[in-house]
Amino acid sequence: MELFSSTDTTIQFVAFWCMFASFIAYFIELKKEESGKRIYHAYTCGVVGFASVAYLIMSLGEGYILVNDTPFQYVRYLDWIVTTPLLLLDLAGLAGVSADDQIAIVLFDVMMILAGLAAGASSDPTTSLYLWGLGIVFYIPIVYDLVVVFSESAKKVGDAAASTYKTLMLLTVVLWSFYPVVFLAAQTDYLTQTGEILSFCILDVLSKCGFGFILLFSRESLTQAARGDASSPLLR
Per-residue pLDDT of the chain (236 residues; tens, 9 = 90+): 689 999 999 999 999 999 999 999 999 988 887 766 688 999 999 999 999 999 999 999 999 999 999 999 999 999 999 999 999 999 999 999 999 999 999 999 999 999 999 999 999 999 999 999 999 999 999 999 999 999 999 999 999 999 999 999 999 999 999 999 999 999 999 999 999 999 999 999 999 999 999 998 888 888 888 874 444 444 44
DSSP state of 34: P
Query: How far is Cα 227 from Cα 77, in angstroms, rounded to an integer?
Result: 34
Query: How far is Cα 110 from Cα 105, in angstroms, rounded to an integer?
Result: 9
The domain spans of the chain are 6-231
Nearest to 85 by CA among 219, 176, 22, 220: 176
3-state class (DSSP) for residue 157:
coil
Asked whether the beta carbons of 209 and 215 are under 8 A apart, the reply is: no
SS3 content of the chain, % helix, strand, coil (to 5): 80, 5, 20
List of E strands, the chain: 65-67, 70-72
Q: What is the pTM of this model?
A: 0.93
CATH of the domain spanning 6-231: 1.20.1070.10
Asked whether the beta carbons of 135 and 115 are under 8 A apart, the reply is: yes
